[in-house]
Amino acid sequence: MPESPFDDKYFSTNTYETVSFGKYSQYWWSNRFYATLTRRYAKNSGRLLEEGCGLGHLVGQLEPDFETFGMDINHWALRQTAKVAENTHLVCSSAGELPYPNNSFHAIISKHVVEHLPDPDKAIHEIGRILTPGGTLILATPNLSSLLKPLKGVSWIGYQDPTHISLRTPSAWKDMIHSSGMKIVKTFADGFWDVPYIKGLPTGMQKLIFGSLGGFQAITGWVFLPPKWGESIIFIAKKAKK
C-alpha cells in the first residue's frame, strides 16, 4: 500500500498550521467532546473502532470504556497513536477496504475522514458492514450548508485543505448512511469557530460572538446546535437490528 500524505507534514500545514495540540486547546476540547458523545450513544461497552485515528488522542481517551481499535492509512500516524493509546489494537488500512469481518464493532468513529476519500460511499458501506446490528456510528465532516460559509467564500475552512476531495451536502451524506443500512438518530453542528467572519471586527470579539455557542456545546457535551449552525456537521446513526 503506498504511503498516504497524512504524516507529520500534514499535521503541521494547511488547516493544522496554527492548531495547538495542548491540553485545553480547541483540539483537546474537540476530542473530549467526541469521546463524551461516544460514551453517551454507544453505552460504554463492546468493541470500538476509530477510523482515521490520526494522532490517537480521541481513541486513547476511550480505552477505559471500550475494547479499542485504531485504523489509519499512514504508518507515521499509527506510530503517534501507539504513544498515547497503548492498549489500542492498530492496523494500517484504507477506509474503502476495512480488514474486519461483518458485524465486528459496537461503535465506529469517523471524524473528518470521509471528505478525504475518493469513494466515500464505499467507505460508509464498509462501516455499515462491520457495525453490529444496533451499533453506533459517529461521523463528522465539513458542513457545506453552514450558515456563515458565504461570509468566508473561497477562504472557508473546508476549502483550505487540498486533500478535501469529497465535500458533499448534508443530504448526500444522509443518503449514503441510509443506503448502508443505518438510521440517523441525531444530526447537529459544531458551531462557528472559523473566525474571522467580518472584516474590521477584532478577532477576539468575533470568537466571543460567533464561537461561544459551539464552545459551550463542546465543554458541556450538551448537543443543541442545529445542523446549519457550524462548520462541521455531525451524524449519530444506528445500524438496523435484524
Give the residue numbers spanning the domain of 134: 10-95+102-239
Interacting residues of 115 by C-beta distance below 8 A, sequence separation 6+:
141, 142, 158, 164, 165, 166, 167, 168
In a domain, 191, yes or no: yes
3-state secondary structure of 175: helix
Q: How many CB atoms lie within 10 A of CB 83?
A: 10
Interacting residues of 36 by C-beta distance below 8 A, sequence separation 6+:
221
Distance between CA 240 and CA 57 in Å, rounded?
30
> Is there a contact between 68 and 89 (Cβ–Cβ < 8 Å)?
yes
CA dihedral sign, ordered 170, 175, 176, 182: positive
In a domain, 86, yes or no: yes
What does the pLDDT read at residue 45?
A: 76
> Which among 179, 184, 110 has a CA at the least distance from the CA of 140?
110
What does the pLDDT read at residue 105?
A: 98
> Which among 45, 60, 113, 124 has a CA at the least distance from the CA of 90?
60
Distance between CA 181 and CA 190 in Å, rounded?
25
**Number of domains present in the structure of the chain:** 1
In a domain, 107, yes or no: yes
What does the pLDDT read at residue 17?
A: 64
Strands 67-72 and 182-189 turn out to be unpaired
Task: Say if residue 196 is preceded by a cis peptide, omega within 30 of 0.
Answer: yes
Question: Which cell numbers in the block locate residue 176?
Answer: 449514503
In a domain, 2, yes or no: no
In a domain, 4, yes or no: no
In a domain, 1, yes or no: no
Going residue by residue through the chain, which has 242 residues, state the pLDDT in tens, using 9 for 90 and above.
445 777 777 776 767 767 677 787 888 899 999 999 999 999 877 999 999 999 999 999 999 999 999 999 999 999 999 999 999 999 999 999 999 999 999 999 999 999 999 999 999 999 999 999 999 999 999 999 999 999 999 999 999 999 999 999 999 999 999 999 999 999 999 999 999 999 999 999 999 999 999 999 999 999 999 999 999 999 999 999 87
Distance between CA 144 and CA 146 in Å, rounded?
6
CATH of the domain at 193: 3.40.50.150
What does the pLDDT read at residue 23?
A: 80
Strands 131-142 and 232-239 turn out to be antiparallel
What does the pLDDT read at residue 1?
A: 46
In a domain, 153, yes or no: yes
In a domain, 185, yes or no: yes
